[in-house]
């Protein structure tokens, strides 16, 4: 798969983006069913995946849970 660097976000930077520990970032990705794309040793999210992660972060910061988010979005 070819990547345009404007369309990807490094997984290693997600903890800083959301002020979360790495384990919490991976837990959220798992809850959303997100599988990062790999390029060599690095993992990346697509823009769509990043938007979903951002939306979940906002939802949780407002007091919701990941399970509620999935239900509201019709993902589970």
**pLDDT on residue 1:** 45
Mean local confidence (pLDDT), 1-5: 50
CA angle (70 as vertex; 28, 54 as ends), nearest 5: 50
User: What pLDDT score does 6 carry?
Assistant: 61
Q: Give per-residue pLDDT as tens, 9-67.
A: 999 999 999 999 999 999 999 999 999 999 899 999 999 999 999 999 999 999 999 99
d(CA 76, CA 68) in angstroms, rounded, equals: 9
């Amino acid at each position: 798969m070819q990547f345009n660097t404007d369309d990807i976000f490094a997984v290693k930077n997600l903890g800083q983006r959301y002020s979360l520990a790495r384990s919490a970032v991976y837990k959220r990705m798992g809850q959303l069913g997100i599988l990062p794309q790999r390029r060599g040793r690095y993992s990346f999210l697509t823009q769509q995946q990043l938007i979903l992660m951002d939306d979940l972060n906002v939802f949780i910061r407002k007091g919701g849970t990941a399970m509620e988010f999935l239900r509201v979005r019709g993902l589970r």
